[in-house]
Structures are given as structure tokens and as C-alpha cells.
Structure 1
Amino acid sequence: MDREISKEVRKRLRNKRLMQYGGIGVGCVVVLILLFSWMRSSVKESNLVFSEVTRGTIEVSVSASGKVVPAFEEIINTPINSRIVEVYGKGGDSVEVGTPLLKLDLQSTETGYQKLQDEDQMKRYQLDQVKINNQTYLSDLEMKVKVSAMKLNRMKAELRNEQYLDSLGSGTTDRVRQAELNFQTGKLELEQLRQQLANERQVKAADLRVKELEYEIFRKEMAEMKRTLEDAQIRSPRKAILTYINDQVGAQVTEGTRLAVISDLSHFKVEAEIADTYADQVVAGGRAIVKIGNEKLEGQISSVTPLSKNGVISFIVQLANDHYRRLRSGLKVDVYVMNSVKEDVLRIDNASYYVGKGEYALFVRDGKNKLVKRKVQLGDSNFEYVEVISGLQPGDQVVVSDMKDFQNKRKVSLKH
């Protein structure tokens, strides 16, 4: 006959089972922790990028950010206050030299130019009139000089006659003196007329030059009005792509308002910016490398902005191959300004780990299955290599890919 198990026995059995289950649970947790720790301390070799330490040359550069822009871009502004009457193109159109882009209301400007043409004809007539008047006046003076000279010759003859008669005793001393006085007076009058003629010639010539200068100034103003009128015929100045046009028909536009932009989208340059702390390393004529993805384009710095704005300076890079197939307006690129060459130095590949000169903790392959962290001193760089100052030897295999997950580890196992 079965007996009932006491409460004390049942309690001991239950506690025993709980202890057994607890031990199993703790063991599982320990195993999981050890497994997780092992996994955290190992990495697949195929997920890493290695760079071998080599000895060679580094062409030192400083990096800048850049944007691809058309090599040529022209903004067409309205030269007058007017109104848009018609629009002949749209953004993206290919235009030739002289292609009409839009039409402005030019009625008042054309009327003003016609008035200037009438005024020009009137001023030419006035100038001709001044020339004729000057010529007439001077001709009259020249005739007076000739008449005075003839009178003087006659007085001279009369003086000789009186002197002859006086020598024969038929004349008188008074008549001789009167003849001498008339001759001297006529001589002075002739000299006065000649001086007056010379002075009037200079005065009339100066007056004529003033009138001619005034007319030339007017002609220049008229030519400027004609040029403005021609510019108001909004046409493409060259073969290019119409990248912008003001298509608001009827809109009032003031002088200087942008109407259209044309760009040469077959050739490009790069507008770049760099921190002004590198200003002494960016000079016109310097060599630069432009990177588009993994591709490199040679270039030369053509100009540098002399002033710093918001801590950066701007410069332009002219590309040797400015029609490269991957160039697009507005494309963001990396620019490297080359400034010096270091030969026979230790170097490793440049990658995202490098942020400037200083000390780094890099993982180096130790044997076949292990990575060991080392303190490494790095120096100058370019877009390909970083200079190794200390901490590495030629032939060392260095991890240059992201190792942030292992930044607190001294050693990491490699899984194949």
C-alpha cells in the first residue's frame, strides 16, 4: 500500500530540481558570453583591406572640396528698362551665334535713337557752317592785309618822290615829314592787321576743335545708344547651351536684370575651396589633382581669390582634359593641391582612417591568424599614400579599413 510523500520530502526534491536547472542556465549564459566574446575578438579576413608598408616617393598634397562648373558661362542682362514681349527659347536648348532668345519692348529706345540721328545731321550742318564762317572771316582779314600792304607800297613811293623833289629844291621839308609819317603809320597798321590775322587763325582753329570735340562726344553717345539698342536685341553671343531664360512674358525688367544664361557644357573647370590656413600652399600655376570616384584628372590652378571668406579661400582649377566624359555641371569632387615631394619614405595606402598628421592605433598582421594593435606615427599625405614616420617596417601588413568595432581590443583573431 502506497504511502503519501511528506511535504518536507517534496520540498527537498523541488529545490534539488531548481538547483539543477539553475546550474544548466548559468552554464549556458557562460558559454554564450564566451562565444560572443570570441566572436567580438575575431574578424573575417575577407572583410578587411590591407596595405603593405613600402618605401617610395610621396608627392605631398592638401585636400580641398570642389564643384564642376562650365568652363564658360555668360549671363545676359537687359541693358535698358523694358518689358518682355516674346520668348523664343527654353532651358536646355542648344543655340548658335546670333540665335534670338527673347524680345524686349524697344519702341521708346528706338524713338530716342531716331531723335539722336536727326540731331546728328543738324550738328554736322552746324559744324559745316562754323567752318564756312571761319573761312569767310579769315579771308576778309587776309584781303585787308593785302590792301594795307598795297597802301603801304604807295606811301613808300610817295615818300621817295617827296624826298627826290626836296633834293631838287622843288619840295618842302614839311611835305617830306608828312610822307614819312604816313608811311610809318601805314607800316604799323599793316603789322597790326597781320598780327590780328595770326591771332584770329588760332582762335578760329581752337573754336573749330572745340566744336569738333563736342561733335565727337555726341557721336560716341550716339554709338553707345546704338550699341545698347543692338544689345537689347537679346541674342546668343556664341554657340552654347541655354541653361536659363526668363520666360515671364509681359514682365517688367529693369536695367541689369538677368534675362538668360548660356553655358559651354562641352568643357568644364573646377571651383574649389580650402581652409585659409593652407593659403600659402595654394598659388596660381600650381599643380592639382581632381578625383571623380577612383579616377584622377590632372589640372592647374589658374586663379586664387585674394580674400578669405568664412575661413576659406576659393580658387579655380583648369583641367588638362576639360571635356572628360564623366564631368557634369554641379558634380562634387575632391581636389588635391600638390605642393612638395618627399622621396625614399615609408608609406601606406591612404584611406578613411587618416585625418591628418599625428599618432594612430593601427592593427598590423602578426603571423597568419592574428592582428595586433600598434601605435604608429603618421606624417604628410596625398590622395594615394600616407607617410609613416615610426611604428611600422617595410613589408608590414596594415589594416586600412574601418576597425571601430575593435577599438578597445589589443589583439584580434583572423577567420579565413
Structure 2
Amino acid sequence: MDRTIPEEVQRKKRRRRMMMWSGGGVGFFALVIVGAMALQPSVSRSSLSVSTADVGTLQISINAAGTVAPAYEEIINSPLDTRVVEVYKKPGDSVKAGQPLLKLDLQTASTDYNKLLDEEQMRQHQMKQLEINNETKLKDLAMQIRVSEMKLNRMAVELRNEQFLDSLGAGTPDKVRQVELNYKVSKLEHEQLCQQYANEQKVMAAEEQVKALDLSIFRKGVAEMKRTLEEAQVFAPRDGVLTFLNDQIGVRVAKGEQLATVADLSRFQVKGTIADSYIDRVSQGAEAIVKVGDALCKGVVNHVVPTSEDGTIGFTVQLEKTDNGNLRSGLKVDVHVIYGVKDNVLRIANDTYYLGAGKYELFVMTDDNHLERREVELGESNWDYVEVISGLKPGDRVVVSDMNAYKGKSDLKIK
């Protein structure tokens, strides 16, 4: 026969079951929470570069690519078509001013120069011959003028005598007219000779000037040939380092072809290039910062190329300290040309995340263990800082290292 279970016992059993279910639910939820926390994405604190937003002055600059180049560099070109006969140095050697670098074949050029010297002498003799001929011709004309003048004086006496005799009745009018006509003809002949003498003087003077000018031009050609021969003796123009040398013996070189380059590697400048759309931001006299590794070198833009080539313009930066030990010829560097200043700017550190003014998604530390993604608008920049327009406030700690691996994550845990 079944026995009725007391009500008190039934209540105890129900309470026990409820406690078991409650404990199981709490444990399940605890496991869910722990699992969710374990699955939350995290990032190592040591991999983060953090910048604290602050207010300060911002020197606005434009970034350009640059190459370190010697402050002084001279290229030696071949003055004529020839070939290399001997080589006295090799690239990389230090040279002193006046030291020979190459010997060129000058036999043909020397022969041509000697021919020019002979021709110069011949032209000098021709010039002297012309002067003698002109002098002789003028002397002949002068003598003819003297003879004509004497004849004219004699006829003038005869005319006066005939006129006197005619006045006494001892002469005849026909005789007087004949003598007078002869006198006038002689006078015209004398005037003609005098005019011819003056004209010949002018013509001869012009001929001599033309001949002298022709000789002067020829002498300049001879001097140019002499200078070419002197330049063909390839010497170092100044103290420096031989950065290039055409050292192939026997090779033919054309006129104007590069033979050697001597550079002063104790002082440097920087040659920069930038897109021509930024031409208004680069001007002569502008301050510039050259970043060589972690070192910053101050300088000034001392030349801007006025023409654009392939969408870029070139400029040169003169460094304050040209003997910086970090500088090497051909070294690629970053050049920052300063074109403005802003005061009381909210700013954060510049790093690889910054690609120009615009909106960015940056991670901001909410506490020591968490990061949240935030939209931040950035403006101008320089080599150290970036202007913050909106999205941050002073004291915010912003991650400025590469966070592309966490793209799309809104929150991160710092471990």
C-alpha cells in the first residue's frame, strides 16, 4: 500500500532541485563571460607606439625626396675627338690640383695647330704686303699731285704774262684764251688727283681694317685651338676625390664626352625633387630640415629649378653644417621644406600612419588595458607632429604605430 509523502519533505526536494538548477545557470553564464573575454582580440603593449595629444607650435612643412651630393663637383669633358692613351689614376683616388689624370692622343690636333700657326704667319706677311703696296700707291699719287701743282703754278704765271702782254697790245686775245683754258684744265686735273688721293686713302684704310679684322679672327681661332690642346692635357682642376674616370686605354672619345669627375667629398648639399603642384610651397630662402636616419640637419633652399620635368621640380638645399659625419654622396634622405607656422595647435606625433590631411580611424587608449577605434580628422604636418582638427582632446593617448592587422576591430584589449 502506497504511503503519502509528507508535504515538508516534498518542499525540501523542490528547494534542492531549484538550487542545483540555479547553480548550473550561474556556472554556465560565468563560463560564457570567461569565454567571451578570452575570445576578445588583444594586442601586445610592447608592440604599440603611443603619442599623447598636446597643444603647441607646429612648423608646417612639405615632404620631398632628396639625395646627398657633393657641395662642389666638376666634370671634365673631352675638348676634341681623340682616344685615351694613358691612365694615371683610378676612380676613388684622392687628387691634388694640377695632378695628371689621363693622357689623350693629340698628334692630329698638334699637326692641325702647327698648320694654323703657319697660316697665321702667312696672313701676317699678306697684311704687311698690303700695307707696303698701299703706302707705295699713296706715295705715287702724292708725287703726281706735286708735279700737277708745279705745272699749275707754271701755267698760272704764263696766264698772267699773256694777260699783261695783251694789256700792252703785244699779245692777242686768242692767245690769252688758249693759255687760260690750259690753266683751267690743269687745275681740274690737279683737283681730280687730290680727290683720288683722298679716296684711295679711305679705301686703303678700309682694306687694312678688313685685313686686320680677318687676322684678329684667325688669331682667336689659333688661341682657341691652343686652349683646346691645353685642356686636352687632363689635370685635376682642384683638390678632391676622383668619383669618375674613363680609364679604358685605347677607347675613342668624342668631343664633349665625359672624361672625369672630381668632387669635394668633405662638404655636401642635398638635391631634392617634389611634385610641381607644390611649387608655391618651395621658394628660395625657405628653411629646410634634412632627415638623415635619426639625425636632423638644418639648411636653406638656395636654388629652385624654374622648369618642370616629368611632373616634378628640383631644388637644392644648402646645409648649415656641410661636414656632417652621417652624410654620404648618393645617400637618399627625406627633405622637409618649411612654408608656415601655426600656434596653439592640438598635435600628435607623426609616423607611418599619416598620408596627408584627411580623416583617419585611430585607436585611442580608454584606460591602461583597452583601446577603442575613433574617427580623427588630421590637418597639416611636419617631420615631428601632425595637426589634429577634431576627434581628440589634449591628454588623449593615441596609437601611432601600424595597426592595419586590426582593421575593422572597434575595441582591443592590451595584454
Match of 2:93 in 1: 93
Match of 2:133 in 1: 133
Q: Residue 261 of structure 1: CA displacement?
A: 1.5
Q: Residue 275 of structure 1: CA displacement?
A: 2.1
Q: Distance in 2 between matches of 1:257 and 1:52?
A: 58
Q: Which amino acid counterpart does residue 362 of structure 1 have in structure 2?
A: L
Match of 2:182 in 1: 182
Q: Residue 134 of structure 1: CA displacement?
A: 0.6
Q: Residue 100 of structure 1: CA displacement?
A: 0.5
Q: How is 1:5-404 mapped onto 2 (pairs within 5 angstroms)?
A: 36-38=38-40, 40-44=41-45, 46-404=46-404
Q: Residue 90 of structure 1: CA displacement?
A: 0.7
SS in 2 for 1:101: strand
Q: Which amino acid counterpart does residue 37 of structure 1 have in structure 2?
A: L
Match of 1:408 in 2: 408
Change (3 A) 1:232 1:30: farther
Q: Which amino acid counterpart does residue 108 of structure 2 have in structure 1?
A: S
Change (3 A) 1:33 1:244: farther
- What are structure 2's unaligned runs of at least 5 residues? 1-30
Determine if contact 1:41/1:409 at 8 Å carries over to the other structure.
no
Q: Higher mean Cα deviation, 326-335 or 69-78?
A: 69-78
SS in 1 for 2:193: helix
Q: Distance in 1 between matches of 2:343 and 2:47?
A: 32
For normalisation by structure 2, the TM-score amounts to: 0.87
Deviations 1:295-340 (A, max 9, x none): 2222222333344333332222222222222110010100112222
Determine if contact 1:67/1:331 at 8 Å carries over to the other structure.
yes
CA RMSD, 1 decimal:
2.3
Paired residue total = 387
Q: Residue 247 of structure 1: CA displacement?
A: 1.7
Q: Residue 169 of structure 1: CA displacement?
A: 1.9
Q: Distance in 2 between matches of 1:219 and 1:239?
A: 34
Q: Distance in 2 between matches of 1:255 and 1:166?
A: 90
Match of 1:9 in 2: none
Deviations 1:113-158 (A, max 9, x none): 1121122112111111111111111111112112212221221122
Determine if contact 1:245/1:261 at 8 Å carries over to the other structure.
yes
SS in 2 for 1:360: strand
SS in 2 for 1:90: coil
Q: Distance in 1 between matches of 2:165 and 2:373?
A: 141
Q: Residue 166 of structure 1: CA displacement?
A: 1.6
For normalisation by structure 1, the TM-score amounts to: 0.87
SS in 1 for 2:130: helix
Q: Higher mean Cα deviation, 130-139 or 249-258?
A: 249-258
Q: Distance in 1 between matches of 2:98 and 2:281?
A: 43
Q: Distance in 2 between matches of 1:238 and 1:131?
A: 48
Q: Residue 223 of structure 1: CA displacement?
A: 1.0
- What are structure 1's unaligned runs of at least 5 residues? 1-28
SS in 1 for 2:339: strand
Deviations 1:139-191 (A, max 9, x none): 11112112212221221122122212222222221222122112211111111
Q: Distance in 1 between matches of 2:126 and 2:195?
A: 28
Q: Residue 30 of structure 1: CA displacement?
A: 8.2
SS in 1 for 2:142: helix
Q: Distance in 2 between matches of 1:330 and 1:235?
A: 25
Q: Distance in 1 between matches of 2:272 and 2:237?
A: 28
Q: Distance in 1 between matches of 2:223 and 2:408?
A: 79
Deviations 1:31-77 (A, max 9, x none): 99657535x32532x44332222222222111111111112222222
Q: Residue 361 of structure 1: CA displacement?
A: 1.8
Q: Distance in 1 between matches of 2:38 and 2:193?
A: 125
Percentage of pairs with the same residue: 54
Q: Which amino acid counterpart does residue 130 of structure 1 have in structure 2?
A: L
Q: Distance in 2 between matches of 1:366 and 1:253?
A: 71
SS in 2 for 1:366: strand
Q: Residue 255 of structure 1: CA displacement?
A: 2.2
Q: Distance in 1 between matches of 2:33 and 2:246?
A: 73
Q: Distance in 2 between matches of 1:36 and 1:65?
A: 46
SS in 1 for 2:380: strand
SS in 2 for 1:158: helix
Determine if contact 1:303/1:316 at 8 Å carries over to the other structure.
yes
Q: Residue 193 of structure 1: CA displacement?
A: 0.7
Q: Distance in 1 between matches of 2:367 and 2:84?
A: 77
Q: Distance in 1 between matches of 2:129 and 2:310?
A: 65
Q: Distance in 1 between matches of 2:270 and 2:231?
A: 30
Determine if contact 1:43/1:412 at 8 Å carries over to the other structure.
no
SS in 2 for 1:334: strand
Deviations 1:68-87 (A, max 9, x none): 11122222222222222111
Deviations 1:178-211 (A, max 9, x none): 2211221111111111110111011111111111
Q: Higher mean Cα deviation, 312-321 or 371-380?
A: 312-321
